[in-house]
Chain A
Amino acid sequence: MAIALRAQGLSKRFGGLKAVDEVTLQLAEGQILGLIGPNGAGKSTCFSMLAGSTPPTAGRVFLGETEITGLPAFRAARAGVVRTHQIVRPFANLTLFENALVAAVQCAGRDHAGARALALEALDFAGLSARQHQYPAGLTLAGRKRLEMARALACNPRVLLLDEVIAGVNPAEAQEMATLILRIRDERKVSIIMTEHVMAAVMRLCEQVVVLDAGKLIASGVPREIVQNPEVISAYLGKKHEH
């Protein structure tokens, strides 16, 4: 299967702290890859490096065959790797439509009509087109997470990095969000890496899971194996006391 995104020996140091330590991972075309781990494991830092918001200390990132290591975020986004944020960051001074349009314009360039169509389509896909003239302040948290995804989709990404889009919303909304993620993969042919605290969602959505602990990759495999892996269990629950 073709590889959509590949990271090789990705590392990030903050002074003496190794936030991410030699992480190597592959995202296949059309796959949903789960990136999990306890708090502070380095998931968000990993995301930032893949999306270009933070330059890695060492290691390389490839989008397909093209190397995108160290590209600034806006170039990585235009190349096709787009992230969402765990803490939603809507443009509060723009309507929902304009929020999506900002992103769409970057891809469609001077083609005004094309950009508007792309933005509207992305909003529609995320189920927000009825509210396109409202401002983000009027949305619930789930709505804002949808907006975050609509805005990312308006970039026409090849790889989408979803940072905790399900955590924090109620169960019904979580169901809808999971369906939306599957639709993005199936209908828009986008490969996805997601970090998530809600394990049920990870089990349902991800074909492959990668586990980080203290910056290191400690396990990778299909979800069912991962939850039985003793190292993963001890990373989450702590080690059993030896007698």
Chain B
Amino acid sequence: MSLPPWISRRALIGLGAACAVLAVGPLLHDNLYLHNLLTLTFIGIAAALAWNWLGGYLGQVSFGHAAMFGLGGFVAARGEISLHLPMVFAWIFGGLVAGAYALLWGHPTLRLRGPYFSIATIGVGEATRLVGTYWDWLTGGSSGLSLPMHPNLKYTLYWYGLALAALALAASYALRRSSLGLSLLAIKSDVDAASDVGVGAVRLQDLVLFLSGAMMGVCGGFYASYFSYIEPGDMFGFDRSISWVLMGVIGGIGTIAGPALGAVIFVLLRQYLIASYPQLYLGLYGILLVLVILFEPLGLTGIALRLFHRVRPDLSVTGVAGED
């Protein structure tokens, strides 16, 4: 079997093994709570990674990705209810619409430099939430939408969720390690200098934005199917957008797998904190965010790299980070 030179065999085997364990896990030991928690984690992983393609690889931090998550969710839900699309096709449909929507507002705003793109995304996120609440025909208004329930649906969706997370992780790897990823890092570092050596920055930025938005939309569709009830205030919520920023930052912004790690920590921590200290949990995230930014800009991945370097100083781990 011949692989492109940028794929490391170790990474491939690692991903395969992790997927295999998670895939057979529920068959060996059936625990509904754990099952549910893992599925939630899978969506978190897929969404955080998709956010990182734009926020980490290109350095364009979005505070409005819930716009695509919500839109994809509602379009997929409508696709299932009104068009009777099979579930997976409805997600893909939602993803395509969400990707197109991302391009619609993102193509002009991605040209903004510095923090202005991020500020624009806040506006987009909030505007989409408001419009979403008023557009009853799409979202059912503030009373939301209910989707058809099947017995065993939640149980089956576990594997779909796993596949989605694995797909997002594979895409993260491909985007970063292929020569495309190099161009993205060059754009992140200096978009003008990148253009001067032949990198078509506009097209690449738009491509990544579309992929990121489409993956968000698919996640939204999956979320809608999983909970069989969605409501605009929750789907388009600002705290949802912020959660992906947090996952990215905690896990390691711009790294390949960091945001996945961040998503695991985030979901687990939230589950525990919401049960025990419902008032405290947002505050704790804030503190965690400040600590990470102050002491380890690469988050948990940065800490892991340091530890690894201490154990095996002979092996240099380069190119994982892509920090500035």
Physical interaction between A and B? yes
Most chain B beta-carbon contacts within 10 A, residue among A73, A78, A152: A73
Minimum CB–CB distance for B284 against chain A, Å:
31
> A226: shortest Cβ distance to chain B, in Å?
29
Segment 84-127 of A: residues with Cβ below 8 Å from B: 85, 89-95, 98-99, 101-103, 105-107, 112, 115
- Closest residue of chain B to A81 (Cβ to Cβ) is B196
Which residue of A is nearest B323, CB measured? A93
Q: How large is the interface on A (under 10, 10 to 19, 20 to 34, 35 or more residues)?
A: 20 to 34
- Complex Cα–Cα for A98 and B184 (A): 12
Which residues of B sit under 8 angstroms from A73, Cβ to Cβ?
192, 195-196
Residue of A nearest to B204 (CB): A74
Q: How many A-B residue pairs have CB under 8 A?
A: 82
Whole-angstrom distance between the Cβ of B318 and the nearest chain A Cβ? 7
CA gap between A77 and B194 in the complex, in Å: 10
Establish whether residues A85 and B5, one from each chain, have CB atoms under 8 Å apart when the complex forms. no
A83 B196 Cβ-Cβ under 8 A: yes
**Residue B36 interfacial (CB < 8 Å):** no
Q: Check A94 against B179 for contact (C-beta < 8 Å).
A: no
Q: How far is the CB of A121 from chain B (nearest CB, A)?
A: 15
**Pick the contact of A77 from B5, B179, B197, B323 — CB < 8 Å?**
B197
A-side interface mostly: helix
The answer to whether B104 has its CB under 8 Å from any CB of chain A is no
A103 / chain B contacts, CB cutoff of 8 Å: 197-198
- Cα distance, A135 to B8, chains bound together (Å): 23
A162 at interface, CB cutoff 8 A: no
Task: Find out whether the CB atom of B186 lies under 8 angstroms from the CB atom of A78.
Answer: no
B192–A105 touching, CB < 8 Å: no
Query: What residues on B are CB-neighbors of A106 within 8 Å?
Result: 197-199
Cα separation A67 to B239 with both chains bound (whole Å) = 52
Pick from B5, B195, B196, B200 the residue with the most CB of A within 10 Å.
Answer: B196
5 further interface pairs, Cβ-Cβ under 8 Å (given A73-B195, A82-B197): A53-B195, A73-B192, A90-B193, A102-B194, A107-B198
A residues at B contact (CB < 8 Å): 51, 53, 72-75, 77-78, 82-83, 85, 89-95, 98-99, 101-103, 105-107, 112, 115, 133, 151-152, 154-155
7 pairs from A and B in contact (CB 8 Å cutoff): A73-B195, A74-B195, A82-B196, A85-B193, A98-B319, A102-B182, A107-B198
